[in-house]
Amino acid sequence: VTYQADQFLDKNKDYVVAEHQALLNNSDCPFVATLFPPLSEETSKSSKFSSIGTRFK
């Protein structure tokens, strides 16, 4: 399978809802629990919101 990743960061600006992130982080499945690790305090203070794309920068 070949994936096209051009402009991935530009296209994926959906918000990461804090409640959804907390739910995923508390999953019993280790893979799911590590999908969106908590941001450092410094990073979260410098940004008004967290998007899917910013997690991959």
Percent of the chain clearing pLDDT 90 (strictly above): 12
Rounded average pLDDT over 2-15: 74
* Residues near 9 by beta carbon (within 8 Å), at least 6 away in sequence: 53, 54, 56, 57
| Eight-state DSSP code of residue 39 | P
Strand partners, 15: 51
Residue 42's pLDDT is 47
Query: What is the pTM for the complete model shown?
Result: 0.44
The tokens describing 23, both together, are 């739910």
pLDDT in tens, 27-54: 999 999 888 777 665 445 555 556 666 6
55 against 6, higher pLDDT: 6
